[in-house]
Amino acid sequence: MKSAIRILLLLVLASTAAFAGDDKKVVYIATEEYPPYTSERLKHFGIDGHIVSEAFRNEGIEVVYQFYPGARSFEFAKNGEVDGTIPWAKREDRDQFFHYSDPVIQVDREQFFYRKGLRFDWNPVHRDYSQINGKRFAAIISYNYGKNFQKAEADGVIHVERVNTLKQAFRMLLFDRVDMVISKGRVATYELQSNFAEEEITQLDSRPENVKPVSYDYLLFSKKRPNAQYFLEAFNRGLKKLYASGKYNQFLRAFETGGYIIPENR
């Protein structure tokens, strides 16, 4: 009995040490439900999860994903409770807390989604929110949609209700509680096709919020973790190997053809 207790205690201590960041063979990454890029309901946890796992596998490192709401996953990594977090864009205020990996994947641009028949002027080049002064938006808690949107929200030019999920945002839009939802195009398409009826989807239209240069998702490594630099360098090396092997492009082709969707989760 004492022997069994001793073994159990050793296992607990070993697990705690690994979570504390002492094990260079296991990396802990906080993420969120952000399909089709990251999700527990997708194969390999989505395209981002697949790329990250395979890049680390190339360096002999196992990935343990932990799913939380987006704001919480960011804070856990920022505070050093996990090694890193994904998927995040580059923002000026983040590099004081994180090391950025090499780009993980190119992502699409933000779009406005709205009910058909809504009339408004919008130039995606200038992104002047005074053109849509007073419009009601639904947006996700903690998400940064770029300087123009964030400033318009802070200044009260637009009225923004922050919610936990994109499903909530689109439900509000369909019930006429907001005028618009802002979201990445692929993310919105997946959400609508997964959770809404065709007659609901056909009520909506969209247009681009911007025509900025392409942007990317990054894996952020917490500067408070002891192995941050080690994991950063290992991931970047593994990612280069993934490109060289041709697997990276294989993953992208699968992504574009719905290869990460588990049929029963449609």
pLDDT digits 0-9 by tens, 80-116: 999 999 999 998 889 999 999 999 999 989 999 999 9
pLDDT band with cut points at 50, 70 and 90 for residue 148: very high
pLDDT band with cut points at 50, 70 and 90 for residue 14: very low
Cα separation, 163 vs 179, whole angstroms: 15
Cβ atoms of residues 105 and 217 within 8 Å = yes
The terminus-to-terminus CA distance of the chain in angstroms comes to 48
List, for residues 194-237, the tens digit of each pLDDT value.
Answer: 899 999 999 999 999 999 888 899 999 999 999 999 999 999 99
Helix 185-195 and helix 166-174, axial crossing angle in degrees, nearest 10: 70
pLDDT band with cut points at 50, 70 and 90 for residue 59: very high
Cβ atoms of residues 27 and 56 within 8 Å = yes
Stronger pLDDT, 218 or 17, i.e. the higher one: 218
Could you tell me the pTM of the whole model? Answer: 0.77
pLDDT band with cut points at 50, 70 and 90 for residue 38: very high
pLDDT at res. 194: 87
pLDDT band with cut points at 50, 70 and 90 for residue 17: very low
Domains and CATH numbers, the chain: 25-107+215-265 (3.40.190.10), 110-208 (3.40.190.10)
